[in-house]
Structure 1
Amino acid sequence: MKLVFVLDCADPEGLADFWAGALGYRRGPFHPPYAHLVDPQAERPEILLQQVPEPKVTKNRMHVDLRVDDMDAEIERVTALGARIVRGPFVDEGWPTTVMADPEGNEFCLIVNPGNS
């Protein structure tokens, strides 16, 4: 079994640039309706960005958590790529957290392991 995540979006090519930069993934060519992202070390799951006609309208039922060492540096890095802060930073059961959104509004969290802060 192989785990692959699929993210519905309006502009897979544009969003591929954001997620490849945010995750350090390599992007493949756009083959409608999919843009393909892979981890260069082949250690993390593949990601497919699937073009869909309908816009995102509510909160994600599943989201990505990115565990980072330096919250401020990561907020600066991903906002430079096109993300925006939705909420935070705040502490969620001892874990410093910031809820972010990609350029199409899909939420993800930046989280610092309390043992690293």
Structure 2
Amino acid sequence: MRARIEEIVFDCSDPAQLVRFWAALLDVEPVDRTPDWSYIDVPGFTRIAFQAVPEKKAAKNRLHLDVNAGELGPATAEAEALGARRLGGVVTDEYGDFQVLQDPEGNEFCFVSG
């Protein structure tokens, strides 16, 4: 069998709000398919979708996105202005630097450089 990833889906309480955060962060247009389903199409990447679910996020994500946003400081400040929350400081290792953040619904993601 040969399978391919169709899209990555975030469970959330407010798809229309969360899609706008990610659309602004990734400089793409948000699409609201229904009140319970929104998405963005990121050039060179698979679709990222947001679906409404009744339960709240309860623990750390088991999967997250690493986003190369250039310089970490300015990118982090811009993401925070959009509603992200910084988790800890910049981490540096032999592969480069990264900053862990949460989107407005608490989903973790990292800005990476290096």
Same fold (TM over 0.5): yes
Aligned to 2:74: 73
Q: Equivalences for 1:17-36 in 2 at 5 Å?
A: 17-36=20-39
Secondary structure at 1:55 match in 2: coil
Identity of aligned residues (%): 35
Question: Any stretches of 5+ residues in structure 2 without a counterpart?
Answer: none
Aligned to 1:45: 46
Offset at residue 2 of structure 1 (A)? 4.6
Question: Any stretches of 5+ residues in structure 1 without a counterpart?
Answer: none
- Distance (whole Å) between structure 2 residues aligned to residue 10 and residue 20 of structure 1: 17
Secondary structure at 1:26 match in 2: coil
1:31-55 alpha-carbon deviations (Å, 9 max, x no partner): 142112112xx42211110100000
Offset at residue 76 of structure 1 (A)? 1.0
Aligned to 2:90: 89
- Distance (whole Å) between structure 1 residues aligned to residue 44 and residue 112 of structure 2: 20
Q: TM-score, normalised by structure 2?
A: 0.89
Name the amino acid aligned to 1:4: E
- Distance (whole Å) between structure 2 residues aligned to residue 10 and residue 59 of structure 1: 16
Q: TM-score, normalised by structure 1?
A: 0.87
Q: How many residues align?
A: 111
Aligned to 2:59: 58
Secondary structure at 2:17 match in 1: helix
Secondary structure at 1:77 match in 2: helix
Name the amino acid aligned to 2:84: A
- Distance (whole Å) between structure 2 residues aligned to residue 68 and residue 51 of structure 1: 27
Secondary structure at 2:32 match in 1: strand
| Runs of 4+ residues deviating >4 angstroms | none
Offset at residue 10 of structure 1 (A)? 0.6
